[in-house]
């Protein structure tokens, strides 16, 4: 059965104000801005993140992707940059999600869950009551050099579907999505939204042709 509501689209790894404007022009409801990470692509300076966050229109979510793992550092980073959504790409080691929500009223808190096995289901169920949304991604935070998303790999969508069915918060699906597979991914998982980085880029730059086709396939994934 096809989804009956069009999934939201988050375009991640935004590298400039122009890229943000292009993504929003095609219908992105959220843009992802990647701060310092232990590995992967798409990282930009905090100065650029603040600049982009200040210029996006009302109603569009500015996601700060952060690898920080203590609440004090995350709170300070949000206040410096002015984003309206925090995507935590690592597990918290000091403090709690509830601490973040109390300190940052009005700021959405999204936790990334890396779907490497069915253990992700238990992790998602534990975190979900304390956050605004979950983002299910490919990666492995247990490696010596942590993979915190942006791998270009697809994970097991049956596990993601199970998580989506069990939790009571919105679920974004990420991990290796492209114009070629996003329709199948949406129909398999039925997520609240999808998140793409490498799949709409050529040589690291946002590719308007790929972007247009990605949105075209998202639109085909649901019935009105």
pLDDT in tens, 56-102: 998 999 999 999 999 999 999 999 999 999 999 999 989 899 999 99
- Predicted confidence (pLDDT) per residue in 168-187, tens digit: 999 999 999 999 999 999 99
Q: What is the CATH number of domain 8-220?
A: 3.20.20.70
Q: What share of the chain is helix, strand, coil (3-state, %, to 5)?
A: 40, 20, 40
pLDDT (0 to 100) of residue 224: 45
**Which tokens sit at 51?**
């600049």
- Predicted confidence (pLDDT) per residue in 27-60, tens digit: 999 999 999 888 777 889 999 999 999 999 989 9
2 has pLDDT over 60? no
Contacts of 117 (CB under 8 A, 6+ apart): 159
- Residue spans of the domains in the chain: they are 8-220
Q: What is the pTM of this model?
A: 0.92
Mean pLDDT value of segment 115-132 = 96
149 has pLDDT over 90? no
Q: Which long-range contacts (CB under 8 A, 24 or more apart) does 73-77 make?
A: 74/100, 75/100, 75/103, 75/104, 77/35, 77/46
Q: pLDDT-based confidence at 146, cuts 50/70/90?
A: confident
Contacts of 98 (CB under 8 A, 6+ apart): 130
């Amino acid at each position: 059965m096809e989804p009956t509501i069009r999934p939201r689209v988050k375009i991640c790894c935004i590298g400039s104000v122009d890229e943000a404007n292009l993504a929003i022009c095609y219908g992105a409801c959220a843009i992802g801005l990647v701060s310092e990470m232990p590995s992967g692509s798409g990282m930009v300076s905090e100065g650029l993140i603040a600049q982009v966050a200040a210029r996006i229109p009302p109603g569009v979510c500015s996601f700060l992707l952060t690898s920080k793992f203590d609440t004090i550092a995350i709170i300070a980073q949000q206040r410096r940059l002015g984003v309206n959504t925090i995507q935590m790409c690592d597990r918290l080691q000091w403090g709690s999600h509830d601490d973040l929500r109390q300190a940052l009223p009005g700021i959405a808190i999204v936790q990334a869950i890396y779907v490497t096995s069915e253990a992700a289901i238990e992790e998602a169920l534990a975190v979900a009551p304390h956050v605004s949304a979950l983002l299910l991604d490919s990666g492995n935070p247990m490696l010596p050099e942590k993979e915190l998303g942006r791998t270009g790999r697809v994970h097991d969508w049956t596990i993601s579907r199970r998580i989506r069915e069990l939790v009571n918060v919105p679920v974004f699906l990420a991990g290796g999505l492209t114009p070629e597979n996003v329709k199948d991914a949406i129909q398999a998982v039925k997520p609240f939204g999808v998140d793409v980085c490498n799949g709409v880029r050529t040589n690291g730059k946002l590719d308007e042709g790929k972007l247009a086709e990605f949105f075209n396939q998202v639109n085909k994934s649901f019935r009105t």
